[in-house]
Amino acid sequence: MVERSGSDFLDAVYTGPIRSWIRRIGIFHAALRAYGNFFRLLYWLDYRLRRPKTAALEAGPHSAIFIAESFPEFARIRTSGSERRIVKKFLRHLRPGDAVYDVGASIGIYTVLTARAISDKGAVVAFEPEPQSRERLLQNLALNEVNNVKVFDKGLGDKPIAARLTLTGGSFVSGAHGMFYDAPGEFADIEIIPGDALVSEMRLPLPCGVKIDVEGFEYEVLMGLRETLEKTSRCTVLIEVHFSVLENRGMSDAPRKIRTLLEGVGFTKFEWLGYSHLLAIKN
């Protein structure tokens, strides 16, 4: 039996056309921008006063520090702190010794905190194809003395393909990159492979947790991991659903298809967290 935390109305908002209508009106994004700008000002004042070289994050009993060589990087780390409730909820479902996949690991915020949560007995498999983000990820792993993470320089998708990853604003700091097969501007050529193929080839452990943040390609990632997810007996999946990117790609029905796919491989509990995160549980 499928369980959904929250009202049927909320589920309809996230998986139906209502969200698209709200986006087109513009009120939702205007409110988010105002909210974000307010906290960005607070972070700027904090940065100007202290000029820190690192920024700390806590999620329940787990904590980590991250390199912050500029204000944009500092602000990005601090902004991630606003997702603390989401991070804590994901980590709460993990146990020491679990294997976790971090798809779209970026600079390693989820990677490091997850590695702490599952202890040295567990393992995190991180995927980050963007070179600068991956370098910072490795630096943050070293800074936190984390040794239970394996990092792959590939992206995950539904088929093997060469892709071009563009840097938003020409910098890895934003963490928001677009993947196109033929795009102008500053970019990195990357390799995309299905997760199922890599799991089989590298004999990776089945995941008890999967976090996905891939800027609008979350459905393709899940399609490529379908067999692996079906084999799991206990698994928690956290997906950041990029509604605006999906709509621009002509995939406004992707949130509904994501839920349907997960239901098809045994996930029975679903909860929307914040304004863009879907938590799915199989046990």
Burial class, 204, CB count within 10 angstroms (exposed 0-12 / middle 13-18 / buried 19+): middle
Query: Residue 134 in contact with residue 128, Cβ under 8 Å?
Result: yes
At 7 the pLDDT is: 46
- Map tokens 């949560």 to a residue: 117
For residue 131, tell me if it sits in a domain. Answer: yes
Q: At 143, which helix (H) or strand (E)?
A: helix 131-143
| 214 assigned to some structural domain | yes
> Based on the structure, what is the number of domains in the chain?
1
Q: How far apart are CA 173 and CA 171, in angstroms?
A: 5
20 within some domain: no
User: Domain for residue 86, yes or no?
Assistant: yes
Q: What local confidence, expressed as pLDDT, does residue 166 receive?
A: 79
CA–CA dist 257, 251 (Å, integer)? 10
Give the separation between CA 78 and CA 55, rounded to whole angstroms.
Answer: 7
Write out the chain's pLDDT in tens, 283 residues.
666 555 455 566 566 665 555 555 555 566 666 656 666 677 777 777 788 899 999 999 999 999 999 888 888 888 776 688 999 999 999 999 999 999 999 999 999 999 999 999 999 999 999 999 999 999 999 999 999 999 999 999 999 999 988 776 545 555 555 555 444 557 789 999 999 999 999 999 999 999 999 989 999 999 999 999 999 999 999 999 999 899 989 998 999 999 999 999 999 999 999 889 999 999 9
Task: Give the pLDDT confidence score for residue 187 in this predicted structure.
Answer: 79
Task: Tell me which residue range forms the domain holding 204.
Answer: 3-15+82-282
In a domain, 263, yes or no: yes
Residues 169 and 142 sit within 8 Å (Cβ to Cβ)? no
The amino acid at residue 2 is V
Per-residue confidence (pLDDT) for residue 71, from 0 to 100: 87
Rounded Cα–Cα distance for residues 128 and 105 (Å) = 5
Q: What are the φ and ψ backbone dihedral angles of 65, each rounded to 5 degrees?
A: -120, 150
Rounded Cα gap, residues 87 and 92, in angstroms:
9
CATH at residue 182: 3.40.50.150
